[in-house]
Structure 1
Amino acid sequence: MKKIILGLSTLCLIAFTSCKENAANKIDDKNVAEAAVRDASSSKFPVIEFDKKEHDFGEIESKTKVTTVFNYKNTGDAPLVITDIKSTCGCTVPQDWSREPLEPGASGKFSVQFNGSGTNKVSKTITVTANTEKGSETVKITAFVKPDPNAAKKPATTTSTIQVK
């Protein structure tokens, strides 16, 4: 057993010491220049700027559908690609955004429809997933939802007392 361990140790020692070529000699200046250009361009990101970060619909009646448009501009140094726009719930539907790259300086828009669900002060967040440095941006809609005046009123509950003798 000692001979096997000694033989393997010798074989490993020979294998590790036989590679005398210096790794620094293998570096190609052309590859270094290409890597520098790639790294410089990878630090450039698109920047999405909205005309408004929040929209208030004011007072609306329950179940009333309302829509707003969020305009945005790519103020960064690279093309902007929006991959998804989602809301915090199904009552708010983002739609109509371009999935094509938006060049620096160009503008775009998307609409958000809210179906008027909820009561009193309602706030919904819309998350825009894009290739920005953060990866996502948010905008918000708010509304004060008034009860529907035509909705049936719930009957008042009454309690009766039974006396047992």
Structure 2
Amino acid sequence: MKWILTGMLFCATLAVFLPACNNTVKVNQQPAADTSHYTTVQWLDSVVNFGSIKMGEQIEIRFRVRNSGHQPLYLTDVKAVCGCTVADYTRQAISPGDTGIVVGSFDSKKAHVGTVRKSILATTNSRNGYNHDLIFTGDIQE
């Protein structure tokens, strides 16, 4: 009798919890992007050497981008990789054939003396790559 009750309890437990196994949890699912509105991008300046500056100077580095496609180009996210640079960018749509700009404001007080290599990551709605690494280099003197 004890085995029958144990077996019935086990079956009842399975009946409650087994259907939950059929429900799969989908993590990090995002809707597919509408690639029909993607364009192509051409970076006119993707690597810039600012030369030599003195420690404590602040400079602006400009990266130009051209919409080489047939749909509006959007810079959807632009961020500096380190705390010594603040990034700004063209926020409105860039029409086909037109150019936009990404500006990096670099504060050498937050860097070190010597050769530096910094980057800004730009995300676009472009077929030829979504994430674009914009690099600037130079020397900081005492």
Superposed pair shares fold, TM > 0.5: yes
Letter in 2 for 1:71: R
Unaligned 5+ segments in structure 1 are 1-40, 148-165
Distance 2:86 2:123 in 1: 15
Q: Aligned to 1:102, what secondary structure does the other structure show?
A: coil
Distance 1:83 1:44 in 2: 14
Question: Of 72, 93, 107, which aligns to 2:65?
Answer: 72
Alignment of 1:125 onto 2:112: no
Alignment of 1:46 onto 2:42: no
CA distances 1:48-73 after superposition (whole Å, capped 9, x unpaired)? 21221111111111121011221211
More strand by share: 2
| Residue aligning to 1:13 | none
| Residue aligning to 2:132 | 137
Structure 1 runs (4+) greater than 3 angstroms displaced: 41-44
Unaligned 5+ segments in structure 2 are 1-33
| Residue aligning to 1:106 | 98
Asked whether the 8 Å contact 1:60–1:144 carries over to 2, the reply is: yes
Asked whether the 8 Å contact 1:44–1:76 carries over to 2, the reply is: no
Letter in 2 for 1:84: D
Distance 2:122 2:39 in 1: 13
Structure 1 or 2, whichever has the larger Rg, is 1
Compute the displacement of 1:121 (Å).
Answer: 0.8
- Count matched residues: 106
**Greater RCO, 1 or 2 (C-alpha within 8 Å, sep 6+):** 2
Identity over the aligned pairs, expressed in percent? 26
Distance 1:84 1:42 in 2: 17
Distance 2:123 2:83 in 1: 17
**1:1-165 map, 5 Å:** 42-43=35-36, 45-95=38-88, 97-116=89-108, 117-133=111-127, 134-147=129-142
Distance 2:90 2:141 in 1: 34
Calculate the TM-score normalised by the size of structure 2: 0.67
CA distances 1:8-51 after superposition (whole Å, capped 9, x unpaired)? xxxxxxxxxxxxxxxxxxxxxxxxxxxxxxxxx94563122122
